[in-house]
Amino acid sequence: MTLAELIAQARTALDTAIANRTQEQDALVALRSDENLTEDAVRAQVERRDAADAEVTRRQQALEELEAEQAREDELAALQARTTPAVTRAPAYDRVARVGAEERTYRPDEDRRGARFERDVAAAFLGDYEARDRLARHMAEERTERGEQLQRAAGTGAFSGLVVPQYLTDLYAPAAAAKRPFADACRHHDLPAQGMTVNLSRITTPTNADLQASENTAVAEQDIDDTLMTINVQTNAGQQTLSRQAIERGTGVEPVVMDDLFRRYSSRLDATLLNQATNGLTNVATAVAYTDTTPTVAEMYPKILEGLSGVESALLDMASGENIAVMHSRRWYWMQNAMSNTWPLVSQPGIAAQMSGTNLGTTYGSGVRGTLPNGTPVIVDNNIATNLGAGTNEDEVYLVDRNECHLWEDPNAPMFIRAEQPKLASLGVLLVVYGYFAYTHARYAQARKIGGTGLVAPTFTGV
Domain ranges of the chain: 177-463
**Residues of the chain below pLDDT 70:** 1, 35, 81-102, 108-115, 117-119, 121-127, 145-170, 342, 344-347, 353-354
Phi first, then psi: what are they for 369, rounded to 5°?
Answer: -95, -25
What pLDDT is stored for residue 21 in this prediction? 87
Residue 170's identity, in one-letter code, is D
Taking each helix axis as running N to C, give the angle between helix 3-32 and helix 253-275, from 0 to 180 degrees, rounded to the nearest 10: 30
What pLDDT is stored for residue 285 in this prediction? 97
* Per-residue pLDDT tens digits for 374-394: 889 999 999 999 999 999 999
* Per-residue pLDDT tens digits for 61-105: 988 888 888 888 888 877 776 654 444 555 554 554 444 556 778
Query: Is it true that domain 177-463 has CATH number 3.30.2400.10?
Result: yes
- Chain-centre distance of CA 410, in angstroms? 17
Looking only at Cα atoms, what is the longest distance across the chain? 133
**pTM of this prediction exceeds 0.75:** no
What pLDDT is stored for residue 87 in this prediction? 47
Paired strand residues for 228: 201
Question: Does residue 414 have a cis peptide bond before it, meaning omega lies within 30 degrees of 0?
Answer: yes
C-alpha distances in Å from residue 67, one per residue of 11, 62, 73, 253, 401? 10, 9, 10, 22, 56
What pLDDT is stored for residue 8 in this prediction? 80
DSSP E strand boundaries for 224-362: 225-232, 234-243, 286-289, 323-327, 358-359
3-state class (DSSP) for residue 91: coil
- ∠ CA 219-221-227, rounded to 5°: 165
**Which of 441, 325, 455 lies closest to 392 in space, CA to CA?**
455
What pLDDT is stored for residue 97 in this prediction? 47
Q: How many residues does the chain have?
A: 463
Q: Where would I find the H helices in 276-346? A: 281-284, 297-315, 329-336
Phi first, then psi: what are they for 99, rounded to 5°?
Answer: -115, 135
